[in-house]
């Protein structure tokens, strides 16, 4: 009888010992941490200036952007002329790595579709006093140096209230070509009501047949905690962004990506308080599906180096 008890006990032990434990999924990215990551980079990139509103305002950014506003051209929320010092905020973006760090892709609206833009610079400008944004009474001129003049470039304005920018060609889209102390420069006017983001862009054009593409991510990665971009090879500042989550994967649902286009997929998220990324090269095929499953921890500096080295 004692042997029977030993036999039953042994079988129970073996049963527990051989039972497989349920797999534990890896930690998912932190959505709030990704938002904070982008916000911190925006704050770090913001240049702040203090100037007198009653004198002509001249601002010179670190990357050569200049701003000019006539004297006495600012009013407060009640329409009163502003006097004394005001604070000017300026951000200059001219690299894909900066677009990724700040989540400012070059996605434009053309008709009812979203399409990729090629950029010659994204700019944020705002003027405030005592923490309250002021209003222009006359346009402010923004000028930026360029290496090569492209007559197809136009002024674009941001039409989205979201953190992700969506650009639309401005009504006053024609740029002015001129010269500054560094050489050729393009300029346009920031009109009353246009504080925030403006851009110098043109629509990406490719005659090849187009397709819809998808990006599949590991379990726990989704549109709330991960950003996925497409860098166009050979275009210094063409960075598309997936803007639709179809239940279990990202979709570029407009079907406007050229078949045969060589690209790099860039995906970023914050996992366990660490920046993670995946960068994959691909040539777009019909109904393209990109399986992005090789996320790895990386430093911000290393990520910038990798993105800046892309073709």
The pLDDT value recorded for residue 147 is 86
* Euclidean distance between CA atoms 102 and 97, whole angstroms: 9
Q: What is the mean pLDDT of residues 247-270?
A: 92
Q: What is the mean pLDDT of residues 275-290?
A: 98
* Euclidean distance between CA atoms 97 and 84, whole angstroms: 37
Is the pLDDT assigned to residue 107 strictly greater than 50?
yes
The pLDDT value recorded for residue 148 is 85
Is the pLDDT assigned to residue 26 strictly greater than 80?
no
CB contact at 8 A, 153 and 187: no
Is the pLDDT assigned to residue 23 strictly greater than 70?
no
Q: Which residue bears the tokens 């203090």?
A: 50
Mean pLDDT computed over every residue of the chain? 91
Is the pLDDT assigned to residue 14 strictly greater than 80?
no
The pLDDT value recorded for residue 183 is 75
Is the pLDDT assigned to residue 25 strictly greater than 70?
no
Q: What is the mean pLDDT of residues 15-40?
A: 74
Burial of 79 (0-12, 13-18, 19+ CB in 10 A): exposed
The pLDDT value recorded for residue 37 is 98
| pLDDT tens digits for range 155-174 | 999 999 888 899 999 999 99
CB contact at 8 A, 192 and 136: yes
The pLDDT value recorded for residue 16 is 39
Q: What is the mean pLDDT of residues 65-77?
A: 98
**Confidence bin at 2 (pLDDT 50/70/90):** very low
The pLDDT value recorded for residue 12 is 41
Is the pLDDT assigned to residue 4 strictly greater than 70?
no
Burial of 128 (0-12, 13-18, 19+ CB in 10 A): middle
Q: What is the mean pLDDT of residues 115-144?
A: 97
Domains and CATH numbers, the chain: 32-203 (2.60.220), 210-308 (2.60.40.1120)
* Euclidean distance between CA atoms 40 and 128, whole angstroms: 20
* Euclidean distance between CA atoms 311 and 307, whole angstroms: 9
The pLDDT value recorded for residue 256 is 86
Strand pairing category for 296-297 and 250-258: unpaired
284: three-class secondary structure by DSSP? coil
Is the pLDDT assigned to residue 151 strictly greater than 90?
yes
The pLDDT value recorded for residue 303 is 98
Burial of 111 (0-12, 13-18, 19+ CB in 10 A): exposed
Is the pLDDT assigned to residue 204 strictly greater than 50?
yes
The pLDDT value recorded for residue 22 is 56
**Confidence bin at 181 (pLDDT 50/70/90):** low
Q: What is the mean pLDDT of residues 270-297?
A: 97
Closest of 38, 10, 5, 55 to residue 227, by C-alpha: 38
The pLDDT value recorded for residue 172 is 97
Q: Residue 307: which H helix or E strand, with range?
A: helix 300-308
* Euclidean distance between CA atoms 291 and 106, whole angstroms: 23
Is the pLDDT assigned to residue 253 strictly greater than 80?
no
Q: Percentages helix, strand, coil for the chain, rounded to the nearest 5?
A: 15, 45, 40
Percentage above 70 pLDDT, the chain: 90
Is the pLDDT assigned to residue 182 strictly greater than 80?
no
**Confidence bin at 198 (pLDDT 50/70/90):** very high
């Amino acid at each position: 009888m004692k042997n029977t008890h030993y036999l039953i006990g042994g079988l129970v032990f073996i049963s527990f010992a051989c039972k497989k434990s349920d797999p534990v999924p890896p930690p998912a990215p932190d959505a709030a941490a990704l938002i904070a990551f982008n916000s911190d980079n925006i704050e770090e990139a913001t240049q702040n200036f203090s100037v007198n509103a009653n004198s002509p305002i001249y601002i010179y950014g670190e990357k050569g952007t200049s701003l000019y506003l006539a004297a006495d051209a600012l009013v407060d929320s009640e329409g009163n002329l502003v006097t004394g010092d005001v604070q000017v905020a300026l951000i200059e973006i001219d690299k894909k790595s900066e677009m990724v760090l700040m989540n400012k892709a070059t996605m434009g609206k053309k008709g009812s579709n979203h399409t990729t833009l090629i950029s010659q610079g994204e700019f944020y400008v705002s003027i405030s006093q005592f923490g309250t944004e002021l209003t222009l009474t006359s346009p402010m001129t923004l000028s930026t140096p360029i290496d090569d003049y492209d007559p197809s470039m136009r002024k674009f304005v941001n039409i989205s209230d979201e953190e992700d920018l969506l650009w639309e060609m401005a009504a006053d889209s024609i740029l002015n070509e001129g010269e500054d102390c560094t050489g050729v420069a393009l300029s346009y006017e920031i009109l009353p009501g246009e504080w925030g983001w403006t851009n110098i862009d043109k629509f990406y054009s490719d005659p090849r047949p187009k397709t819809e593409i998808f990006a599949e991510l590991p379990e726990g990665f989704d549109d709330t905690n991960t950003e996925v971009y497409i860098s166009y090879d050979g275009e210094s500042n063409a960075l598309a962004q997936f803007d639709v989550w179809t239940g279990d994967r990202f979709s570029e649902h407009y079907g406007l990506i050229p078949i045969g286009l060589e690209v790099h997929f860039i995906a970023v998220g914050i996992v366990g308080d660490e920046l993670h990324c995946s960068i994959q090269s691909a040539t777009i095929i019909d109904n393209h599906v990109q399986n992005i499953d090789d996320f790895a921890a990386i430093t911000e500096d290393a990520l910038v180096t990798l993105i800046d080295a892309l073709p």
